[in-house]
Amino acid sequence: MSMRKRTSELFLGTASAALLALMTASTVLADQPDEAEVGVDADEEDAIVIGGSIPMTGVFAFAGLQFNDGIRDFVRWANEEKGGVNGRKFRYVGQDTGYDADQSVGVFRRITSREDVDFYFGDSTAFSQSINSALNRRDILMTGASFASELNNPEQYPLQFLLGPDYTEQVGILLNYIAEEDPGARVALVHSDTEFGRDPIRASEEMAEELGLEHVETIVTPAGASDISSAALELRRARPDYTIFHGYILSPIPDFIQRARQMGMDTRFMGTIYTMDQGIIDEMGDAGDGFMGVMPYRYYYDEEAPDTEVFGAIHEMHDEYRATTYTQGWLAGMLLMQIAQATLDAGDELTGTNMRKALDSLEDIDTGGIIGVPVTFRGNSIPVGRIYRADAEEGRMVPVSDWIDLDETD
């Protein structure tokens, strides 16, 4: 299977026509260039250079434009307010990939051939898999958009890390919440028939049983399925108390919820990170009210947000909602800043290997309020998240749990 086909399988099939139209409109309105540069000039000595394969156009542009803006705003803030790291300021160079893995690799090669890159941001699981050997060869540390469970393996992916819990851990956080709130509850899993969708399923089925929950059904649908009649009937026969979706952005989740309500089902619906942004919930319409899910970051409008370092800065820059993918770009920068600080304080150069050593040494990391508790990497991930519920009356996601750290639930 080509990298291009694998990339399409991961997300392209999961977006509905309505969401595609929304993404296209937002991309056009943003009028973004296919290359972004911010921070100190290319000839600045000792700059800390962040490269990025960023999907500014294409099916994942709704997230890519936000990644790009988040990293750019972080670099401006870090240079102006923090003076960089030990006087070394940041430079960011990102180029559009169109969410195509072959193009992402080409962007990586172009940027690393002309820039002395210290850190990289990737746009997809397929890119993370395909570029791994090049990262190891060039000794560059990378993070990015993917939360694939496969990447949470320091032996196979020593110079990569995730910006939160992997997909298996995300479902695990949901299951731990359910087990705490409703011991012995009946749980169904619904996923797309894609690599993205299948990722956490087997481990999640086992975890549900270990937590004393009753796993009653796993339902598979084509990505972006337009007819889920038979799947909805399967769900009704299973009679779950909770239904967890994974491997979708939007469609067919609203259809499932509407059919369940029409059939008088009493089940609570949940999702993972890429279903949980406010913009996606808004696209669900009435079906979105009460939808729950896991989010590793605070939302722009969280009550505590303005009092935190990062969101205080974001609120000064922007007086309107910023997506969780924008926050994800900031988190990449905040983690890099602390990793670079620890590396330089140890007297080491900013190589991928040295920065990985520094990352492994960090404990109780302060993310500037992006994540509501101090965090520590476990493997390549941060197994922490919070459960939020969509409140149509308030027009926002509201927290319904404390921050859940899987390390503390074992």
Residues 58 and 88 occupy one common structural domain: yes
**Which band of pLDDT confidence, cut at 50, 70 and 90, is reported for residue 189?**
very high
Residues 140 and 227 occupy one common structural domain: no
* pLDDT of 239 over the 90 cut: yes
Residues 42 and 145 occupy one common structural domain: yes
Could you give the number of structural domains in the chain? Answer: 2
* pLDDT of 26 over the 50 cut: no
* pLDDT of 11 over the 80 cut: no
152 assigned to some structural domain: yes
8 A C-beta contact, residue 117 and residue 49: yes
**Interval 303-310 mean pLDDT:** 95
Q: Which pLDDT belongs to residue 7? A: 45
**Which band of pLDDT confidence, cut at 50, 70 and 90, is reported for residue 173?**
very high
Q: Which pLDDT belongs to residue 43? A: 80
Q: Which pLDDT belongs to residue 195? A: 95
* pLDDT of 313 over the 70 cut: yes
Instruction: Report the candidate in 301, 302, 249 with the shortest Cα–Cα distance to residue 273.
Output: 249
**Cα distances (Å, whole numbers) of residue 138 to 33, 146, 228:** 28, 21, 47
Q: Which pLDDT belongs to residue 22? A: 43
Residues 326 and 372 occupy one common structural domain: yes
Please tell me the distance from the alpha carbon of residue 9 to that of residue 364, in angstroms, as a whole number. Answer: 36
Give the structural domain span for 13. 3-165+307-379
100 assigned to some structural domain: yes
317 assigned to some structural domain: yes
Residue 364 burial (CB count, 10 A): 8
Q: Which pLDDT belongs to residue 32? A: 52
* pLDDT of 304 over the 80 cut: yes
Q: Any residues with CB less than 8 A from the CB of 109 and at least 6 apart, and which?
A: none
8 A C-beta contact, residue 214 and residue 243: no
Tell me, yes or no, if the pTM score tops 0.75.
yes
Residues 290 and 315 occupy one common structural domain: no
* pLDDT of 1 over the 60 cut: no
Please tell me the distance from the alpha carbon of residue 246 to that of residue 235, in angstroms, as a whole number. Answer: 15
**Interval 374-397 mean pLDDT:** 97
Residues 319 and 246 occupy one common structural domain: no
278 assigned to some structural domain: yes
374 assigned to some structural domain: yes
Residues 338 and 353 occupy one common structural domain: yes
